[in-house]
Amino acid sequence: MSANRIISYAFALLICAMGIGFGSSAFAAAAPAAGDGLYSEKGTATCVQCHNEAPATDILKTPHAMKGDAHAPGGQKGCESCHGPSNSHAAGFAAGKPALPAVVFNGPNASPIEVRNGACLTCHQDAKRMNWHDSQHKNANLACVSCHTLHAAKDPVMVRTTQAAKCFTCHAQQRAESFQFSHHPMREGKVICADCHNPHGSAGPKLLKEFTVNQTCYTCHADKRGPMLWEHQPVRENCLNCHTPHGSNEARLMKERMNFMCSTCHSATGNNSGGAFGGAHALVGNLQGSATFSSALANNRTCLNCHSQVHGSNNPGGTFFFR
Ligand code: HEC
Ligand code: HEC
Ligand code: HEC
Ligand code: HEC
Ligand code: HEC
Ligand code: HEC
Ligand code: HEC
Ligand code: HEC
Ligand code: HEC
Ligand code: HEC
């Protein structure tokens, strides 16, 4: 405890001994037992007598402290809107019976997880947290405070440039992916985790904000939405047939090197046509083996040299995605 704290603590004891000050006379005579459900008489003013420095006081700089907002703790029970009725804690010290606040969020004395989360959900049980109760994060026993920091002028997980770092503390694989050659600029804060995921729960897979992968991608890549005159089936089906969402060592977030990626579905023995090594390529104008074809395949754009509109085409002549 800092010198300041000790002084204010001592001060609290002193005013208590004199039978004056907050909480009136009652708490000096008979200190209420822990968890007696009573709020301290002067709310925040009582608490900040002892908790008079950062980080405790940082909350006073946030929307939570707004006195004018009837929905905010500041407009209700102050500190105790979150920490619960804690008169026994505030007064207990003075009476020589230290007690914990009703709700402790972190550290060795942390309250049970339902109690902690319940304190937040009394106010934040809304549309965005509709699926919290069967979310992967709830099931993994995360607390709201596993991600949120309330005693900070600005909660880092709410800031675009610092959000990913918070998620990376648990999701090391996605962190590694964010350093790969091609990646959504997540560390850079341009495309953030919460652009694609709702960490509070989702009706779709993998905590995605939308019902499907493709709908999630379309929110930014609207040009890929279609419908196209000539659809490429795997594109409509799932963008992740060819791409990875976070990062890849292949260009354009590709799952595999170009040529091989197309060949996973289009091969001489595969069922979706002959690909580059048979089928039409062998038949039409004896394409395969021609100088044009070989050099086109050797080029790093490989199949894309000819089939450039791989997401589908709106050109009347775009059957084979040439244009
Ligand atoms: C008389 C001084 C005093 C008053 C008044 C006071 N506290 Fe405390 N509080 C302490 C001390 C001392 C500790 C334990 C040392 C520490 O964590 O700094 C503490 C600890 C806490 C903790 C952390 C508990 C833990 O175990 O991690 C919380 C949360 C807390 N107080 C909230 C409050 C709230 C809310 C109020 C107002 C209702 C309040 N305090 C009023 C002195 C006080
Ligand atoms: C909106 C809910 C909320 C309000 C209001 C609130 N707290 Fe907290 N408090 C928390 C959470 C959550 C934590 C855990 C650490 C964090 O998120 O910063 C915490 C942690 C603490 C701690 C322990 C320090 C630590 O990091 O372990 C103290 C002491 C404390 N609060 C005191 C207060 C006091 C005093 C007030 C009023 C001025 C207050 N709190 C208002 C939610 C709240
Ligand atoms: C008494 C009601 C109440 C309680 C309890 C409460 N909040 Fe809030 N919270 C609010 C209000 C009101 C706002 C401001 C909303 C706004 O401005 O749109 C807010 C804002 C927020 C924000 C957005 C802050 C920002 O920087 O924009 C976060 C995150 C948040 N609360 C998380 C929590 C968590 C986590 C807890 C539990 C530790 C909690 N709240 C407890 C009422 C509450
Ligand atoms: C896995 C991390 C994580 C957990 C756990 C988490 N949050 Fe959040 N929360 C976030 C992120 C990230 C944002 C920012 C969302 C955005 O930018 O759209 C956010 C935003 C918010 C906001 C403000 C914007 C909004 O969605 O209304 C509130 C309020 C909030 N969270 C409350 C809670 C509560 C209550 C809990 C516990 C039941 C909780 N959060 C648990 C990560 C988390
Ligand atoms: C305290 C650790 C922790 C933090 C912080 C955290 N997560 Fe998680 N997350 C988990 C755990 C544990 C799971 C469930 C187990 C798993 O699938 O890895 C999970 C699951 C997920 C899933 C679903 C995985 C699936 O298989 O369905 C997504 C998506 C996710 N987290 C995104 C995020 C985002 C985005 C953030 C930051 C806003 C975040 N997480 C912060 C621990 C965390
Ligand atoms: C551009 C959209 C997008 C962004 C941004 C994004 N994700 Fe994802 N994430 C996805 C998609 C889509 C999946 C589903 C992958 C699948 O089904 O194989 C996913 C899956 C996950 C999973 C589950 C992985 C698994 O193998 O099951 C975790 C964990 C995750 N993301 C965490 C994060 C974190 C942390 C961030 C921010 C650093 C983040 N994501 C940013 C789209 C995104
Ligand atoms: C929040 C907006 C947003 C969402 C949602 C989004 N993206 Fe992106 N995407 C971007 C931005 C911005 C870039 C450009 C990055 C750059 O210029 O470095 C990009 C780039 C790409 C690239 C090219 C990468 C490169 O290295 O050139 C691919 C491929 C891509 N996104 C696929 C997807 C897929 C698949 C999804 C769905 C899982 C998706 N995106 C969802 C914003 C988004
Ligand atoms: C059949 C494989 C395949 C599927 C499925 C696919 N893509 Fe692509 N995508 C590619 C290839 C190949 C490139 C590289 C094109 C180039 O370099 O000209 C690419 C490039 C991109 C780019 C960056 C260049 C550009 O055209 O803007 C974005 C963004 C993109 N894809 C988004 C998506 C989205 C969103 C989906 C799902 C709707 C999707 N892709 C589905 C193969 C695919
Ligand atoms: C996930 C499997 C898959 C991948 C990967 C894939 N395709 Fe396809 N492709 C298909 C299917 C399915 C069809 C429709 C086949 C049919 O109608 O017979 C198709 C059709 C085509 C057609 C012919 C269109 C037509 O009308 O006959 C071309 C050209 C094509 N793909 C090129 C590519 C290229 C180039 C790549 C690599 C960038 C690629 N495909 C990757 C599954 C895939
Ligand atoms: C030099 C240009 C060129 C390159 C490079 C090329 N193709 Fe083709 N592709 C064609 C032509 C021409 C057709 C036949 C169009 C027609 O029948 O009119 C064709 C047809 C196709 C078809 C559909 C016809 C069928 O066989 O059923 C698929 C699938 C296809 N190519 C896949 C690929 C893949 C995968 C690659 C890369 C490994 C590739 N192509 C590289 C020119 C090319």
Q: Rounded to the nearest whole angstrom, what is the distance from the C-alpha of residue 196 to the centroid of ligand 9?
A: 27
| pLDDT tens readout for residues 135-146 | 999 999 999 999
Cβ within 8 Å of residue 109, ≥6 positions away: 100
| Six-digit token string for 263 | 């060949």
Total domain count, the chain: 2
* Domain edge (last residue) among 73, 102, 131: 102
**Amino acid 323: pLDDT:** 84
Q: Rounded to the nearest whole angstrom, what is the distance from the C-alpha of residue 194 to the centroid of ligand 6?
A: 10
Answer whether residue 153 is part of any domain.
Answer: no
**Amino acid 296: pLDDT:** 57
Answer whether residue 63 is part of any domain.
Answer: yes
Answer whether residue 79 is part of any domain.
Answer: yes
Q: Which ligand is nearest to the CA of 238?
A: 8
Answer whether 217 contacts ligand 8 (Cβ < 6 A).
yes
d(CA 73, CA 62): 11
Answer whether residue 208 is part of any domain.
Answer: no
Is the entire prediction scored with pTM above 0.85? Answer: yes
**Amino acid 21: pLDDT:** 30
The number of residues making up the chain comes to: 323
Answer whether 232 contacts ligand 10 (Cβ < 6 A).
no
Answer whether residue 263 is part of any domain.
Answer: yes
**Amino acid 130: pLDDT:** 93
Choose among 160, 170, 145, 152: nearest CA to 195.
160
Choose among 237, 264, 259: nearest CA to 307.
259
Q: Rounded to the nearest whole angstrom, what is the distance from the C-alpha of residue 131 to the centroid of ligand 2?
A: 26
Answer whether residue 298 is part of any domain.
Answer: yes
* Domain edge (last residue) among 102, 122, 152: 102
CA 11 to chain centre: 43
Answer whether residue 89 is part of any domain.
Answer: yes
Q: Which ligand is nearest to the CA of 224?
A: 8
* Domain edge (last residue) among 83, 102, 121: 102
Q: Rounded to the nearest whole angstrom, what is the distance from the C-alpha of residue 121 to the centroid of ligand 3?
A: 9
Cβ within 8 Å of residue 290, ≥6 positions away: none
Answer whether residue 86 is part of any domain.
Answer: yes
Atom of ligand 2 nearest to the CA of 78: 5
CB 321 within 8 A of CB 232: yes
Query: Measuring from atom 29 of ligand 10, which residue has the nearest CA?
Result: 275
Stretches in the chain below the pLDDT threshold 50: 1-34, 270-272, 274, 283-285
**Amino acid 292: pLDDT:** 60
Buried b (16+ CB within 10 A) or exposed e, 110-143: ebeeeebbebbeeeeeeeebebbeebebbeeebb
Q: Rounded to the nearest whole angstrom, what is the distance from the C-alpha of residue 311 to the centroid of ligand 9?
A: 10
Domain range for residue 65?
A: 3-102
